[in-house]
Each structure stands twice: as C-alpha cells, then as structure tokens.
Amino acid sequence: MGRVRALPVARRYPATYLSATAQGRRLRDDARAIGSLVVFVGHPRSGHSLVGALLDAHPDMVVAHEADVLKYVAAGFGRDQLVALLVRRERERVAAGHRSGSGYGYAVPDSWQGRYRRLSVIGDKKGGRTTLRLADDPGLLDRLAAVTGVPVRLVQVVRNPWDNIATMHRRAPRRGLPETIDLYFSLSATVDAVQARTAPEAFHRLRHEDLVSDPAAELSRLCGFLAVPVEPDHLAACAAVVFPEARRTRDGVGWTPDQRAEIAERAAGHPWLDGYEGLA
C-alpha cells in the first residue's frame, strides 16, 4: 500500500487557509465548549457515513462528512482553522443534501445536522483515508490532540467483512478483488496498531449490524462514550432513517474457493471479526 503524502495545504490553497482563519476566529467563543474531537478509523463502506450523520444530528455535536482533518493537521493548520473547516464542511454538506453515491440518504429530518446548540464535540467522518494516513504517520493523532487542546476519541464501525469487501470492490471495480482483500486486511492491521496506542476509554467499536438492529441502543452508547446527553428526540429521529436490515452485498460477488479460505483465515487474526457468518 502506497504512502499517503501530506499536502502543503497552507501554501497550495491560501484562500482556504485564510478563510478558515477568519471563520475560526468568529467561532472561538462557541469552540470553547469543545470537550473532545471524534475521528473514525477502519474501512470504507462499513457504515461510517451513516454513524457520522446520526451523530451530527445531535444538538451538541458537529461531525463533518469526509473533511480529512488529518490532512490539514499534517499541513500545519491550527485549532481555529480546523474547527472552522469541520463546521463549514458539514454546513455545506447539509446545504447540498445528504444523499450518498450509493443512494443512501443521510438526512435526519428535524434534527441539528449542520448546526448546534452547544459545540461539545466536533469531528470528522473519513474512516478509510484517516486509517491510511495513520499507517503512514501514527503520530498524527497526537498532533491533532496537541493542536486542538482536547482529547481525541476514536470510533470504528465494523461490518461483516464479506459485505464490506464486496462493497469496496463494487465501488472501485478497477481495483481487483485480490487487491481489495489485501487492502481490507491492511487497514485491519492498522486499526489494531492504532488501538494498541490508544487508551481503552478513548476507543469505541460498534457493529453496523447492531446499529441497524437497535439504533437507539447503539447511539445511546456512543453518546455515553462522547460524554454528551442522551436526547430521546434525537434517538427517535435517527432510528426512523436507518434501514431495517443490513445489505448482503457479498451475494453479488463470484468468490473463488481460495478467496473464501483466505478471507476466513485472515479474519481469524482479528478478534473483533469473530462471529460473522460467511457465504452460507
């Protein structure tokens, strides 16, 4: 897997840097309430977008959609600019609509998406790219905490590996299935390495299938992890937009016997994948 090169954003995009600086100054009073910053790690197509959108619907959280915050940390952006980028990214996302490329709608009606009552938690939903960046530079999380001055909390959304790999392959068909399998388990190894460097109270893992089965329970646990109040209206609104069952994209892939055996063997090396069914 290739290195993810940090972009000199401040030099290449001076307008973005300057506008974020100006907006960040205007947000300073609100930003004083920030108690933690949440970052997602794991695999693309695992359900991070859904979870990020549901968290952003909470009145005390802003979770930007794929802002790639670690890119800006590597480029030298400061606290004011990072806060502004995350808030602006999510406001723009809400204004443009919440539909994904796969057709899944992430809008939660009558919620706080793109705005806030109190800015207690701010964050970024870009699990796959964030994990690639951490494979290249594990110290980026420490730099993020140092720059923002608040604890960083990590969330991993786990999906059945067969469905996850199948969806990754479907969305990037030019990357062969063997390469997609390798990418999936390379990201898995990075997640394990990141978790090993993280205090247990700063890492939260949930299964996509559990979220679909009981959205209110899983969101309540996330709110507890992020130290924000559980809001019954928020839970009810989010539960209403979650699909009634997880999609079995694995059934659309022509797996070879060797691929089936490889996935089962490599999955056994990650205890957080225990219990997932295969192709039966």
pLDDT digits (tens, 9 = 90+) for 155-182: 999 999 999 999 999 999 899 999 999 9
User: Which residues make beta-bridge pairs with 204?
Assistant: 155
Domain 9-158+200-243 has CATH 3.40.50: yes
Q: What CA–CA distance (Å, rounded) separates 8 from 5? A: 9
Q: What's residue 105's pLDDT?
A: 72
Say what percent of the chain tops pLDDT 90. 83
Q: What CA–CA distance (Å, rounded) separates 158 from 80? A: 32
Q: What's residue 278's pLDDT?
A: 75
Which has the closest alpha carbon to 208: 153, 263, 162? 162
Find the range with the poorest average confidence among 7-16, 31-40, 63-72, 173-182. Answer: 7-16
Residues 187-194, mean pLDDT to the nearest whole number: 98
Tokens of 224: 């507890």
Which has the closest alpha carbon to 120: 52, 60, 188? 60
Give me the residue spans of the domains in the chain. Answer: 9-158+200-243
The residue to which tokens 């290739």 are assigned: 2
Q: Which amino acid is at 172?
A: A
